[in-house]
Structure 1
Amino acid sequence: MSRFMPLVILLISVVAAGVLWLSGPFDSQASNPLTENQTQEVASETPQKQEEQIQQDTPAGAQESTQKSTAYPIAVTPKTSYDFGVLPRFTQAQHIFEIHNDGTAPLELKQGPSSCSCTLLGLDTSKVMPGETAEIKLEWTLKFKEGPFSQSAVIYTNDPERKEIEFVVQGLTETRLGLSETEVVFSSLYPGDSPTKEVLLYSRTLKSLGEVSQNIKAEIPGFNVTLHEASAEDLKEVEGRCGYIIKVEVPSELDSGDHVGQIQFTAHPEELANEENAEMRTPTVTLNIDLRVKDPGAKFFSPLIDGWGRIKLGEVSSEKGSELLKINFRVDQGSTPWKVTKINKHPEFLEVKVVPLDQEHGMFQLQIQVPPGTPEGNYYGQTIGRIALESDHPYIPRVPSGKRIGIALEFHVK
């Protein structure tokens, strides 16, 4: 036998085995461990069954880790603010707020900052289990004199959506005695004006103000202040229970300039007479009065007039005369219209006219011209030209006002 014979026999055996394997039918079931029915059964499983199967196949430690990563607290607050309405000053008040945990993990609470007059008395617990509720108590002393107040406190939480929660208490400090306006202003009065204004003196808590005394701190000569009882309609706007209307009258004889007055009103209600330290708690308010009386006159608006009230025409042709000068001015006429009754002029040949521009607002135009054919002459020094306007207005009888002789014109005709 040839020495290569065993190798040939081995090769023939391998080839024959390969032919037999290739010639056999492909058995899909043999290659797939699931039958057709089993495949349909797996495909028809709901996500819930699949999740249960996964949980069964997941080790216990891994399940616990997954639950921890999805659990978190949810802080729910039915209310974060409370309105107490009207409270007396120096009242010590408190209110309780609630925080509910709607989450799946403990809700941790920590006290945060609070406003100056508000104290967070504390939490009944620093950890709120799922489904449970914690109480938060706020307390403060009402120190505000009157009007609205608002105090707040902050709670920090481990809720990822609400890291901090602010609780607010608010309301109104009672007004035992108040004024609808603490300052009465009369601006830009004219001499002879005598306007009046009314201010409401009221209380939101007292049944009656009793006798109201006045103490003048700063006096305005001739000023008159009277009181008469306010009606329910008068008090409605300020939510008052009782009060008086203060009528302030400005005297017509006031000199021009600024005037300041101050009056203190003190109520003496019977219901406070028996209170401890009644004198210290007697309600008092102060009304300030500010007014300005104008020094009326006229103001000219023209670059032709210098600081001395002069118009320098210079040389004027006797044959042609001068150009028509137009000078605008405004009169502080007040409620009485200002009208020209007479024009004083020197020399007499000057042509002068006053044209109303906006009479309602006291705007006028002064027109001046040296007419053609004027004789030669010099108008300087003692013979300087001048113009003054007279009126029957009660406090602006002359324009220009004051001691000036009028508008001066320097010129010579040649």
Structure 2
Amino acid sequence: MKPIAVIGAIITIGLALFVVSKLTAPTNALNEVAVEPPPPPVETPTETETKLEEGGEEKPEGTPEEKPAEDVSYQSNPFDLKKPGPYPKAVLVQERFEFGSMALGATKSHPFVVKNEGDAPLKLEKGPLQCKCTMPALKDKEIPPGGQAEIVLEWKPLAVQAGFEKEATIWTNDPANPRLSLQIFGDVVSDDFWEPVDGFSLDQLKQGEARTVTGFIGSRTRDDLKIERVDQVNNLLKIEYTPADEAKLKEKEAKVGYNFTLTLPPSEEISLVRETVTVTVNSATNTQIIWPVTGNRIGPVSIIGPGWYAEKQLVQLGHFRAAKGTEKKFTMLLTDRGEKPLEITDVKVDGPIQVALERDEKWPVKTNERYFLTVKFIPNSPIGVHNTDNAIPVTITTNHPKVPTISFNVSYDAD
């Protein structure tokens, strides 16, 4: 036998013996471990499946969310007016409506009736608007032939305005009347009004003279106006008020109102009259009414010269260096001669101001006396600006029975 054949026979016999031994050998349970197959993968439901389980409908990816319909208005007519007939016929029963007097902040509305007297449905769309416009009970913004609908205009004014006008444009598909113009107009007034508006001027008063002025506070839009309190800063005035009678209310075209009487008592003091009266009323828009009261009480003294303003009882020193100071000299004429020459006995001033008075011994006129009044800013005083609104008050006390005090203000700009 050839060697190669012998080797092949040996290999064949060995493989056969190995297979037989495996088939006949007992199972060793301690040495063998059973391997369980891996569990099947858990499937997570997709977002679409979850929505379907909850009762939702599957939407294709990228579908936009639905939005509520917008209240659209058009700058030009959106309808095709060249279509062949039949045509609608738009008839606006009323084009303008007057609200009359409106209270500030109040809201008023008015319905305008539109009829369709044509043979086809009348379609409507909003155009340019100057106020709120609604079309209630108008399905699909369409009026059938022979039908009618209301268009409501609403206006809430936010400022007092005399003679306001607001317009709303409604486009139609009526070729003969493609644009409807709805207009509202009226006046916007405050809940309350008062006279005078800018306060009271007492003008010039002589020494010992009293002055009385009258005013009015009322309302054209409400009947519950009440005066809650009346205040004044300097307590110079006697103030009284009473409900207005029917004749006065008719004159003022008011539903309710009050007559005011302001009286300045007599006084010998020569000075400006400055008072501020504040009336508080039960109104949401104007809770306080402020009346300035001004006047000028004159006596036997008159002051003349550049820098003196009699209507304001004001001395203007102008602009200057605080370190150097400045002064102005005025002529003061006294028409009522006293037993003694006029002298200053006291000066009250809250600021760096000095006042001096000197008699002109050479004055030739016998009907009056001439004095020189000097108003001086003290050199090296603190810099400051005092204009008309915050001028420094000065009160001079004298020895003259007819001129017990002289009051004025001083303004300057010292740097």
Task: Mark yes or no: TM-score above 0.5.
Answer: no
Report TM bin, short chain. 0.3 to 0.5
TM-score normalised by L of structure 2: 0.43
More helix by share: 1
